[in-house]
Amino acid sequence: MKTLLLMGNPNVGKSALFARLTGVHVVAANYPGSTVEYTKGYLKIKDERWEVIDVPGTYSLDPTSKAEEVAVRMLSQGDIIINVVDATNLERNLNLSLQLLKKRIPMLMVLNFWDETTHKGIHIDNVKLQHLCGIPVIPTTAVSGEGVKNLVEIIPSAKISSVKYSTKNRWNEIGKIVADVQVLEHKHHTIGELIGEATIKPFPGIPMAAVVLFLSFMLIWWIGESIKAFVMDPLFDFLLGPLLHNLSDVLGSGSVLHNLLIGRLMDGSIDFEASFGILTTGLYVPFAIVLPYIIMFYFVLSLLEDIGYLPRLGILLDRAMHIVGLHGMGFIPMLLALGCNVPGVMALRTIESKKARFISATLMAIAIPCWGQLAVIISMLGRTGPVGFTIYFFTLVVVWLGLGIILKRGVKGESLEIFSEIPPYRIPYIKALFKKVWMRMFHFLKEALPFVFLGIVVVNLLYMSGIIYILGDIASPVLTSLFGLPKETVGALIVGVLRKDVAVGMLVPLGLSFKQVVVASVILTIYFPCMATFLLLLKEIGVKDMLKATAIMIVTFLTVGTVLNIILSLLL
Amino acid sequence: MTIADLTKGESAVFINIHGGWGIRRRLEAMGLRPGIVITKISDQIFGGPIIIKVGKIEFAIGRHMARRMIVQRIGGLE
């Protein structure tokens, strides 16, 4: 089978084109570096199956980051290169194109964002360009699919260019080509450019950022809560509830199977939050409590991503990120981690310095809760008003900042400054946006459900076998004496290794006091990331650094738990 | 003079960067090569990054790096 490589600068639309060619949807976004690992898919051209690889973007063939290294390594595997070029930035993109031409691999060039050239007043003679480069050139608008059919037909006629360029005078050569094929119409600033400049200046950029963030959180909150109250709760109460009651009668309360599937009955009936059976709490937590907020979180995140707002937010936050030894772009992985720590950890590959990567990984694992866990915490603490989660968030911010300041000083290595291209604002393509939200939601369910069920089984086994009481006694010096929590909280800590949302849910039947709920929520957030995140971190930053991070984690959670317990005991 | 010394809206020709071969190569790959015209768009407060525009592309550049990027003034305000 022949292999097609999609290669080009960062943020030129390779992932959107990949999705169009293969039907495999990958998460694309409007900022450089959204693809950090290659993705494979397949394409059929005239009964022949081709392998298509979406390669992370690179500016040149001398890689400067981990993600770019992946790109250069892929080169040897390609039979044909599709060089994706941003038609609105011809000159810069051609720099990579000329380097690729020298590799003597059959190639063709795609001029993407073709639709944007029109309103930006850029006219490119693609036939002339084809002649000058010696390879087929096809204009496309990947996100809407325009030109893609044409591209597929032309792929087999990719060829090795016979045109010679001198590497030394590369920019001169490029300059000549650009002057030959491109005419720029003098246009006044487009609205996008004007907004682009306004949102990046301290004023009005910073107040605007505050408004955007506030509206985003309110939107997630309100709509998430509405979906839960008006869609999910009725479904569970009126549809699933009666069915499960019948099942409960058939199985007989107290039997092992009843315990696993339905859980314990509360006053003779099923309590979706507290029963802890696979079909009751096991479905209620992921679908009713977490999913509504996850959908909204990913909708807002995807929207901001596709518009191109995230890197601008990063620039505005640059100074603040320096406090913890990171720079502005380090903000994006943190934001992604707020959805789920796993994609957050993947995004750490875009961070250039080893020191910054270690600091980010440690801070993320300790002080960034995933949205699944947050949803349960919010729904649990929300019952007692806003005080509880104000304390919760405040504590996490203090931990994040405090730990970051210590790590910035304590970790060897240099912290690099920001140096990044800022993508233009783009109007999101609605179909692609919904597809992305759907993919992320599907990914959440696929990853979460097995662990949720496993977590529930573990809870039941711990209680049925009585092991929980033994472990509770072992853990009580820390849990009870230091944190002021009941021994049974140990169950939540054990399950939290598998799945944080279920673990937080386990606090509900324990009948904790307000102070205990707050302390337990904070501890469950910082003591350990979930297993999936831990294993990925191990792979990404290595055993040695992970051991260090784990040691930091243990010290932090013991300290924070104790201090918070003391402070809250004095205040409340 | 350096990029950090430019005022908002001012254009200049990028001459070079004080620094190793690696950083020079990286800048060049991103389109920031000697001889190209740049325009300063904005400064962030509290010593945050500087935003410049090269053709249609905007870049965010850390303050220390901007101080090492030598430019030559070509004219007044845009």
A250 in the same domain as A151 = no
Cβ contacts of A28-32, under 8 Å, gap ≥ 24: A28/A432, A28/A436, A29/A302, A29/A305, A29/A306, A29/A310, A30/A305, A30/A306, A30/A307, A30/A308, A30/A423, A30/A426, A31/A305, A31/A308, A31/A310, A31/A311, A31/A332, A31/A423, A32/A57, A32/A311, A32/A420, A32/A421, A32/A423
**What is the spatial distance between Cα A456 and Cα A443, in angstroms, rounded to a whole number?**
20
pLDDT of residue A461: 93
CATH number at residue A175: 3.40.50.300
Q: What is the mean pLDDT of chain A?
A: 92
Q: What's the gap in Å between the CA of A416 and the closest CA on chain B?
A: 9
Torsion of CA A46, A48, A51, A54, to 10 degrees: -10
- Tell me, yes or no, whether A196 lies in a domain: no
Q: pTM for the full model?
A: 0.91
Helix axes A371-381, A291-307, angle to 10 degrees: 130
How many distinct structural domains can be found in chain A?
2
**What is the spatial distance between Cα A408 and Cα A356, in angstroms, rounded to a whole number?**
8
CB atoms < 10 A from the CB of A154, how many? 16
Q: What's the gap in Å between the CA of B9 and the closest CA on chain A?
A: 11
A320 in the same domain as A253 = yes
Among B residues 3-22, those touching chain A with beta carbons less than 8 Å apart: 22
* B2: phi then psi, degrees, rounded to nearest 5: -120, 170
Q: What sign has the CA pseudo-torsion A196, A201, A206, A208?
A: negative
Among A residues 16-75, those touching chain B with beta carbons less than 8 Å apart: 59-60, 62, 64
Residue scoring higher pLDDT (A379 or A125)? A125
- pLDDT band per the 50, 70, 90 thresholds, residue B54: very high
Most A CBs within 10 Å, among B3, B23, B39, B44, to test the A interface: B44
**What is the spatial distance between Cα A102 and Cα A83, in angstroms, rounded to a whole number?**
13
Instruction: Read off the pLDDT of residues A43-99 as tens digits, 9 standing for 90 and up.
Output: 999 889 999 999 999 998 887 777 778 888 889 899 999 999 999 999 999 999 999
Name the residue among B33, B42, B65 with its Cβ closest to that of A200.
B42
**What is the spatial distance between Cα A41 and Cα A54, in angstroms, rounded to a whole number?**
8
Question: Do A91 and B55 make contact, defined as CB atoms within 8 angstroms?
Answer: yes
Task: Find the closest chain B residue to A91 by CA distance.
Answer: B31
Lowest-pLDDT range of A18-27, A81-90, A509-518, B34-43: A18-27
Query: Domain end: A135, A159, A187, which one?
Result: A187
Choose among A27, A8, A20, A306: nearest CA to A145. Answer: A20
Coil, helix or strand at residue A226: helix
- Tell me, yes or no, whether A192 lies in a domain: no
- Tell me, yes or no, whether A444 lies in a domain: yes
The type of residue at A183 is V
Is A467 buried (19+), middle (13-18) or exposed (0-12) by CB count in 10 A? middle
Instruction: Read off the pLDDT of residues A225-238 as tens digits, 9 standing for 90 and up.
Output: 999 999 999 999 99
Query: Domain end: A129, A163, A187, which one?
Result: A187
In chain B, where are the structural domains located? 3-77
Question: Do B62 and A327 make contact, defined as CB atoms within 8 angstroms?
Answer: yes
Q: What are the residues whose beta carbons fall under 8 Å from the beta carbon of A567, sequence distance 6 or more?
A: none
- Tell me, yes or no, whether A452 lies in a domain: yes
Go through chain B and tell me how many residues it has: 78
Instruction: Read off the pLDDT of residues A327-368 as tens digits, 9 standing for 90 and up.
Output: 999 999 999 999 999 999 999 988 888 999 999 999 999 999
Q: Which CATH architecture has domain B3-77?
A: Roll (2.30)
* Interface ipTM: 0.92
Does residue A108 contact residue A154 with C-beta atoms inside 8 Å? yes
Lowest-pLDDT range of A86-100, A174-188, A391-405, A467-481: A174-188
Beta-strand (E) ranges in A113-180?
122-124, 137-139
pLDDT of residue A512: 93
Q: Hey, is the C-beta of A388 within 8 angstroms of any chain B C-beta?
A: no
pLDDT higher than 70, residue B78: no
A475 in the same domain as A517 = yes
Task: Using an 8 Å CB-CB cutoff, list chain A residues near B29.
Answer: 59-60, 62, 64, 95-96
- Tell me, yes or no, whether A195 lies in a domain: no
- What is the span of the domain harbouring residue A38? 2-187
Q: Hey, is the C-beta of B69 within 8 angstroms of any chain A C-beta?
A: no
Does residue A353 contact residue A414 with C-beta atoms inside 8 Å? yes
Helices (H), A28-108: 66-74, 90-101
**What is the spatial distance between Cα A360 and Cα A338, in angstroms, rounded to a whole number?**
13
Of all helices (H) and strands (E), which one includes residue A480? Answer: none
pLDDT of residue A458: 93
Instruction: Read off the pLDDT of residues A180-225 as tens digits, 9 standing for 90 and up.
Output: 999 998 777 777 788 888 898 888 999 999 999 999 999 998 999 9
pLDDT higher than 60, residue A393: yes
State the number of CA atoms in the 13 A half-sphere of A317 facing the CB: 22
- pLDDT band per the 50, 70, 90 thresholds, residue A136: very high
